Amino acid sequence: MNKANQIYSQALRTALDTIGRNMTTFATMFPDNVTRANIYYPRTRDGFAIGDNFDWTTSFWPGQLWLAYELTDKDDYCLAAKRLLPSFINRIDNQIDIDTHDLGFLYTLSCVTAWQLRGIEPARQAALKAADYLITRCLENVGVIQAWGDLSDPNQRGRTIIDSLLNMPLLYWASEQTGEPHYTAVAHRHTELLRDYLVRDDDTTYHTFYWNPETGEPLFGRTEQGHADDSCWARGQAWGILGFALNYRYTRDHSFLATAQRLADYFLNHLPSDHVTYWDMVFSDGSGEERDSSAAAIAVCGLQELLHWLPAGDVRERYAESAENILQSLAQNYTPTGESNALLLHSVYDKPKMVGVDEGCLWGDYFYLEALMRQTNPEWQLYW
Ligand code: GLY
Tens of pLDDT along the chain (384 residues) come to: 899 999 999 999 999 999 999 999 999 999 999 999 999 999 999 999 999 999 999 999 999 999 999 999 999 999 999 999 999 999 999 999 999 999 999 999 999 999 999 999 999 999 999 999 999 999 999 999 999 999 999 999 999 999 999 999 999 999 999 999 999 999 999 999 999 999 999 999 999 999 999 999 999 999 999 999 999 999 999 999 999 999 999 999 999 999 999 999 999 999 999 999 999 999 999 999 999 999 999 999 999 999 999 999 999 999 999 999 999 999 999 999 999 999 999 999 999 999 999 999 999 999 999 999 999 999 999 999
Residues 6+ apart with CB under 8 A from 31: 22, 40, 41, 42, 43, 61, 341, 362
Q: Which atom of ligand 1 is nearest to the CA of 294?
A: 4
User: How far, in Å, is the centroid of ligand 1 from the Cα of 311?
Assistant: 31
Instruction: Find the 75 Cα to ligand 1 centroid distance in Å.
Output: 31
The answer to whether position 89 is within a domain reads: yes
Do the beta carbons of residue 107 and residue 123 sit within 8 Å?
Answer: no
CA of 314 to the centre of ligand 1 (A): 32
Ligand 1 residue neighbourhood (C-beta within 6 Å): 163, 225, 235, 349
- CA-163 nearest atom, ligand 1: 1
From 159, 349, 354, mutation site for ligand 1 pocket: most ligand atoms within 8 A of C-beta: 349
Report which ligand 1 atom has the smallest distance to the Cα of 350: 5
For atom 5 of ligand 1, which residue has the closest CA?
349
Q: What is the reported pLDDT for 87? A: 98
At residue 1, the pLDDT reads 82
In a domain, 44, yes or no: no
CA of 349, closest atom in ligand 1: 5
pTM (predicted TM-score): 0.98
DSSP-assigned letter for residue 276: -
Burial class, 311, CB count within 10 angstroms (exposed 0-12 / middle 13-18 / buried 19+): exposed
Task: Read off the amino acid at residue 16.
Answer: L
| 56: in domain | yes
Residue at 267 is within a domain: yes
Residue 381 placed within a domain: no
What is the CA(234)–ligand 1 centre distance, in A?
Answer: 11
Cα of 355 from ligand 1 centre, angstroms: 12
Q: What is the pLDDT of residue 115?
A: 98
For residue 163, report the distance from its CA to the centre of ligand 1, in Å: 6
Q: How many whole angstroms separate alpha carbon 242 and alpha carbon 264?
A: 9
Q: Is 351 helix (H, G, I), strand (E, B) or coil?
A: coil
Residue ID of nearest Cα to ligand 1 atom 1 = 163
CATH classification at residue 56 = 1.50.10.10
Q: Is residue 321 domain-resident?
A: yes
Q: In testing the pocket of ligand 1, which one of 105, 106, 225 has its CB within 8 Å of the most ligand atoms?
A: 225
Do the Cβ atoms of 207 and 226 come closer than 8 Å? yes
pLDDT attached to residue 72: 98
Q: How far is the CA of 374 from the centre of ligand 1 (A)?
A: 22
Pocket test for ligand 1, best of 55, 102, 163, 348 (most atoms within 8 A of CB): 163
d(CA 221, CA 257): 23
pLDDT at res. 38? 98
Name which residue sits closest to atom 2 of ligand 1, judged by CA: 163
Q: Are 326 and 276 in contact (CB under 8 A)?
A: yes
Q: Which of 118, 125, 46 is nearest to 92 (CA)?
A: 125
- Domain count of the chain? 1
Give the pLDDT score at 269.
98
Q: Which atom of ligand 1 is nearest to the CA of 235?
A: 4
Q: Which ligand 1 atom minimizes the distance to the CA of 161?
A: 1
Catalytic residues: 102, 163
189 part of a folded domain: yes
How high is the pLDDT of residue 120? 98
- Domain interval for residue 299: 3-39+50-376
CB burial readout 208-245, b (16+ within 10 A) else e:
bbbbebeeeebeebbbbbbbeeebbbbbbbbbbbbbbb
